[in-house]
């Protein structure tokens, strides 16, 4: 059995769908941090079977919209002095910008490179996002 130590001050992202931890790691820009970041994949979970976990050994500002887009069921634990002090409620954002790119080759964002890639939540129940320019479905 592998052991990853607890953190004194930082953030633990828990209940990430198995296999999605590295995608979230990159989307949040955690590869640019100079602090210790542990990505645990395929951890055993009673609730999920398998899950990924990300531990960040520093207090940083996370983009909760990115987490909400990936999966609003991800648990964000803020750790201070070894104690879980806060669990912000994660919601799917109504609008996301430059988190994903429009895949439609006819979209204006393909021609106009400087335009931001903006998607709006059009179906909350099924987590469907659509490009605001061409209405193409994301995800």
Question: What's the pTM value of the predicted model, to 2 decimals?
Answer: 0.85
> What are the structural domains of the chain?
10-86 (3.30.70.140), 95-138 (2.30.30.20)
What gap in Å lies between CA 17 and CA 85, rounded to an integer?
24
Ranges of residues in the chain whose predicted pLDDT is under 50: none
What gap in Å lies between CA 102 and CA 52, rounded to an integer?
27
What tokens were used for 69? 């887009």
Q: Shortest CA distance to 119 belongs to which of 80, 44, 84, 69?
A: 69
Q: Shortest CA distance to 88 belongs to which of 101, 77, 72, 73?
A: 77
pLDDT for the residue numbered 24: 94
pLDDT for the residue numbered 1: 60
Q: Which tens digit of pLDDT belongs to each residue from 75-88?
A: 999 999 988 888 88
Which long-range contacts (C-beta less than 8 Å, at least 24 apart) are formed by 125-132?
127/92, 129/69, 129/96, 129/100, 131/102, 131/104, 131/107, 132/95
């Amino acid at each position: 059995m592998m052991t990853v130590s607890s953190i004194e001050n930082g953030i633990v992202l828990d209940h990430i769908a198995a296999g999605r931890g590295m995608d979230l790691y990159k989307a949040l820009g955690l590869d640019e941090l100079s602090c210790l970041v542990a990505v645990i994949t395929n951890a055993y979970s009673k609730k999920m079977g398998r899950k990924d976990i990300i531990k960040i050994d520093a207090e940083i500002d996370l983009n909760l919209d990115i987490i909400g887009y990936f999966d609003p069921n991800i648990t964000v634990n803020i750790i201070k002095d070894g104690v879980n002090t806060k669990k912000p409620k994660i919601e799917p954002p109504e609008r996301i910008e430059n988190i994903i790119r429009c895949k439609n080759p006819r979209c204006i964002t393909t021609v106009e490179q400087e335009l931001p890639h903006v998607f709006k939540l059009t179906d909350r129940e099924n987590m469907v996002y659509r490009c605001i320019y061409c209405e193409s479905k994301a995800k």
